[in-house]
Amino acid sequence: MPLTRFDPDNYQQLLADKCARVMRQFADLRAPVPEVFESPPRAYRMRAEFRIWHQGEDLFYAMFNPGDPKTPLRVDDFPIAAERIQAAMPVLREALLPNQTLRRKLFQVEFLSTLAGDLLVTLIYHRPLEADWEAAAAELEQALDAHIIGRSRKQRLVLSRDYVEETLGIANENFVYRQYEQGFTQPNARVNCAMIEWTCARADKLEGDLLELYCGNGNFTLPLSRRFDRVLATEVAKSSIAAALHNRAANAVDNLELARLSAEEVSEALAGSREFRRLKALVTPLKDYRFATIFVDPPRAGLDPATTDLVCGFDNILYISCNPETLKNNLDRICGSHELVDFALFDQFPYTDHMECGAFLQRRD
């Protein structure tokens, strides 16, 4: 996000204009008046990454405009970042400046923080990292009160741990999440909480079992598990499944099973056209689930045609989308058999054109 667009004094008007633009895309579907969930206008982003630009004895955080990718823009303040990241940025820079072991050929820095106050910092280099780097980085961990990871080509050094711990308050209950370095997490934690609570409020009316596709680390899965008899959640990324398994145990969820399957493979399994060894480990066989509801939070490309057809086979559809354009394409098909009951807009990325959407659909009688 170009910082030139950061305008907290006009946030409400910018949000209203963005909502109006998005809703024009759905005009022909006669979408319900949406609930709108705003972001904090400052300090909302839990992740940030910067190039490190070396200029003689100086170095600084840098970003680049897409139209001019070779000219670094110096970043001394990053007011959209979480306060934990903002506080760490100058401390890290001051520690790097005089320390040749830590700064030499340092290329990029990535920050991952949580509402719970945890911080992970990844330092990425264009050189191998040796024992002297580990010793200097251990001192840096103490100075930052953070966890440090060093990366270079074919090398990854974890000094203490490679994850942060998050706690999210959802509908008067706290859920804990382990979030791994370079694993997907929602960047705006407070808007993420609003997304989860909106989805759970729709699920409160429903019965039976839930199928979830693209479950990630269990971000939505854990709170949703409190609202259904049984949940089967699927995800293709091994690291995300590992995080979801840990988070299931940490939150004492006993009605959730996880399977490493793509959306296409789930379609094949439910249709009975293909058997998967990965499903044989399920405590409840696939055929014994009473699925009436499906929840999807797909990548920007949305649902492919086969998965869209799969979704249409459920009575209740909960859909969180990070791309209104692909959501609209999917709803054009889904609304042939289902009614769009509720709609929501979540301002995950203030001061940009990006908007997250929530849709709740039910099969027409």
Give the chain's length: 365
Hey, which bits of 92-213 come out as E strands? 106-113, 119-125, 147-152, 155-158, 163-170, 173-180, 209-213
Hey, what amino acid is at 37? F
Distance CA 65, CA 63 (A): 7
User: 188 to each of 8, 81, 98, 362, how far by Cα in Å?
Assistant: 16, 9, 34, 29
With contact defined as beta carbons under 8 Å apart, do 84 and 116 qualify?
Answer: no
Using a 10 angstrom Cβ sphere, with 0-12 exposed, 13-18 middle and 19 or more buried, the burial of residue 241 is: buried
Q: What angle do CA 31, 348, 147 make, to 5 degrees?
A: 155
* Catalytic residue list contains 312: no
94 is known as an active-site residue: no
Q: Which of 166, 212, 235, 356 is catalytic?
A: 356
What token pair was written down for 361?
């659909």
Question: Rounded to an integer, what distance in angstroms lies between the CA atom of residue 295 and that of residue 298?
Answer: 10
Given 215, 312, 322, 335, which residue is catalytic? 322
Q: Known catalytic residues? A: 322, 356
